Amino acid sequence: MSGPSTARIGSTTDRLAATVSEIFAPAVLLTLFLAAAALQSAAWPGSVLLAAVAVAFTTALPLLGVLLLVRRGRLVDHHISDRRQRSPVLAGTLVSIGVGLALLVALDAPRLLVVAVICTVAGVVSVLVVNLWWKLSAHSAVAVFVAVGALGLVGVSAVPLMLVPAAVGWSRVRLSAHTPGQVVAGSVVGAVIGSAFALLAAPLP
């Protein structure tokens, strides 16, 4: 699907939707989630190094690559709105995350952080496979994953974060970036992987 129609581009509601999509973009939410996982599971100052490694290879480098490709005209935008352009980018992201995961293991990173990165890999693979024929909402998948995963990290105090996926889903539909069905499908993927993180990250008996 294309972006919002010309008649709606300048509306206040569309500007709000665009802002929500940017503030709660997958790279932003995953960066915050991985940093929180590192800071919670490792002692200072080692946690800072682990957070930097996780974020650099999972979100920062892939996002930098996307921005460079957009600048060169190889991608339509930094949200990769054209489904056909997503597969190579997601494949490259998996390579980057794999390198980061290897470094985290070499640095003896806490199990919680390693599980968070592995669950991110599962999310990228899921989106990559589905996007071979259908444009699943990565925004919604990540938003739900982070919200559910946060419950596993900090407990019920993270419940207010459940509002984020609702806002993100609304924004993607409002901007005509996804259909309601694509948002729901992304949310289901995020919920499954977020629940898996909460279970896997639980302390071993």
Does residue 129 lie within any of the structural domains? yes
Of the candidates 49, 20, 19, the one whose C-alpha atom is nearest the C-alpha of residue 34 is: 49
Q: Taking residues 45-72, what's their average pLDDT?
A: 96
The rounded distance, in Å, linking the Cα atoms of 162 and 150 is: 10
Q: Picking from 2-16, 20-34, 183-197, which range would have the lowest pLDDT averaged per residue?
A: 2-16
Does residue 188 lie within any of the structural domains? yes
Write down the pTM of the prediction.
0.90
Does residue 83 lie within any of the structural domains? yes
Structural domain that includes position 166: 12-200
What's the chain's average pLDDT? Answer: 92
Does residue 6 lie within any of the structural domains? no
Buried b (16+ CB within 10 A) or exposed e, 130-162: bbeeebbbbbbbbbbbbbbbbbbbeeeebeebe
Does residue 4 lie within any of the structural domains? no
How many separate domains does the chain show?
A: 1
Does residue 2 lie within any of the structural domains? no
Q: What pLDDT sits at residue 205?
A: 57
